[in-house]
Amino acid sequence: MKKVFSYFLAGLLVLGCGLFFVVQIIMSGPEFGGAPLKERRAILEASSNFKDGSFKNTIKQADYGFLTNIKEMMGDQVRIPPAPFPQVKPQFSEVVEPGLRAVWFGHASVLVEIDGYRVFFDPMLSSHAFPVKAIAPSRMNLPPISIEELPRIDAVFISHDHYDHLDMKSIQHLSKQGASFFVGLGIGAHLEKWNVPKDKINEMDWWQSISFRGLTINCTEARHYSGRKSMNRSTLWTSWLIQGPEHTVFHSGDSGYSPHFKKIQEKFPNIDMSLVKVGDYGEDQAWRDIHMVPEDSVKAHLDVGASVMIPIHWGVFKLSYHSWDEPIERTIKAAKAANVNLATPKLGEVVEFGDTVKIEPWWRNL
């Protein structure tokens, strides 16, 4: 009996070692990115937001409520849309016209034309939000155009390095076009591993500003976390505020609600358009601390003082337990109560700043 038990333990050890090496081989793939080393590591460690070996939120996150999460996970929510979202195929001219307009590509991906420049926030056009497709979240709705049909992009902004926001294939395509990249501290290591030229990578800390052609790029705070191989918070999560000669646009990134939104308004008044995350949250306080619920998303929009709000980060990936249309329905209700100018574009539909803003509940017709 002891001999059988010894063989059993030896078999478990071999199996465990085999699985360990398989995981290590998989995680050595390029899509898992690189690690901040040498000069990059020294810069991020000098940040006031980097403490005890990792980046920290200004306000600490609550502990997870196990029972609340289990209850949500076991619920009967309808988490997948009954049909594909309607789409509008956007048309882009070779020369970017003056003004401010935004095109939602799904999830947190928004292409913006601002005062003659074309910028892209969190471009994620791949079919899966993880390198191992067998376990990866897959798109429930495709982008309105393929990656090959994208127009020339001047600048790309990455809010953080999670797979549903930082996509290797999209980055590599835009890099070949000649785009410049703006990322939080440490994320440049991923881009360099993907052969993005070093002189095209701009790593920034919260509240830093730099000039880029005719734009002012402001890296602003967010309340979230980071990590590709592990959730070790070794890279900085951000939001972004872009100022042109005539217009200003804000992208919330993935964030929980906190006073940083009011701080943004204090530093940067007269924001024209906010692109705010409304989906993929949980009701547990730990979820809410780093993933806003829709009511908090509307509060964030009001805090930054923008004229028009476009809700993003919903309806594309199943990343939480709520019903697929709950985020947008709760956003509409909260926006109406707060008298917010809310635009609800279809995928690919252009929202032109200055045009009459109206809510079209197109998802109810699916």
Encoding tokens for residue 220?
């602003």
Average pLDDT over residues 129-151: 95
Q: What are phi and psi of 311, to 5 degrees?
A: -75, 135
Q: What are phi and psi of 66, to 5 degrees?
A: -60, -50
DSSP state of 305: T
Among the listed ranges 228-242, 304-318, 328-342, which one has the minimum average pLDDT value? 228-242
Encoding tokens for residue 216?
């002012």
Mean of all residue pLDDT scores within the chain? 92
Q: How sure is the predictor about 9, in pLDDT bands with cuts at 50, 70 and 90?
A: very low
pLDDT at 88: 97
The 10s digit of each residue's pLDDT in 271-283 is 999 999 999 999 8
Q: What percent of the chain has pLDDT over 70?
A: 92
- Total-model pTM: 0.92
| HSE value, Cβ hemisphere, 13 Å, CA-based, for 299 | 11
CA atoms of 227 and 144, how far apart (whole Å): 28
In 10 A of CB 86, how many CB atoms? 14
pLDDT at 28: 54
CATH number of 73-365: 3.60.15.10
Q: Structural domain boundaries of the chain?
A: 1-32, 73-365
Q: What is the amino acid identity at position 54? A: S
The 10s digit of each residue's pLDDT in 49-83 is 999 999 999 999 998 787 788 888 888 899 999 99
pLDDT at 71: 83
The 10s digit of each residue's pLDDT in 146-157 is 999 999 999 999
Strand intervals (E) in the chain: 50-51, 54-55, 100-106, 109-114, 117-121, 155-157, 180-184, 201-204, 208-212, 215-220, 239-243, 248-251, 273-277, 308-312, 350-352
Q: How sure is the predictor about 358, in pLDDT bands with cuts at 50, 70 and 90?
A: confident
Q: How sure is the predictor about 3, in pLDDT bands with cuts at 50, 70 and 90?
A: low
CA atoms of 96 and 144, how far apart (whole Å): 19
Q: How sure is the predictor about 7, in pLDDT bands with cuts at 50, 70 and 90?
A: very low
Q: Is the pLDDT of residue 4 over 90?
A: no
| HSE value, Cβ hemisphere, 13 Å, CA-based, for 155 | 24
Q: Is the pLDDT of residue 23 over 80?
A: no
Average pLDDT over residues 145-171: 97
The 10s digit of each residue's pLDDT in 24-39 is 434 558 999 999 888 8
pLDDT at 346: 97
Among the listed ranges 65-69, 200-204, 221-225, 330-334, which one has the minimum average pLDDT value? 65-69
Q: What is the amino acid identity at position 322? A: H
Average pLDDT over residues 336-363: 95
Q: Which residues of 54-76 are buried (b: 16+ CB within 10 A; e: fewer)?
A: bbebeeebeeebeeebeebeeee
pLDDT at 366: 94
Encoding tokens for residue 260?
């940083």
274: closest CA among 331, 348, 192, 200? Answer: 331
Which positions ≥6 away from 1 have C-beta within 8 Å?
A: none
Strands 117-121, 155-157: parallel, antiparallel or unpaired by DSSP? parallel
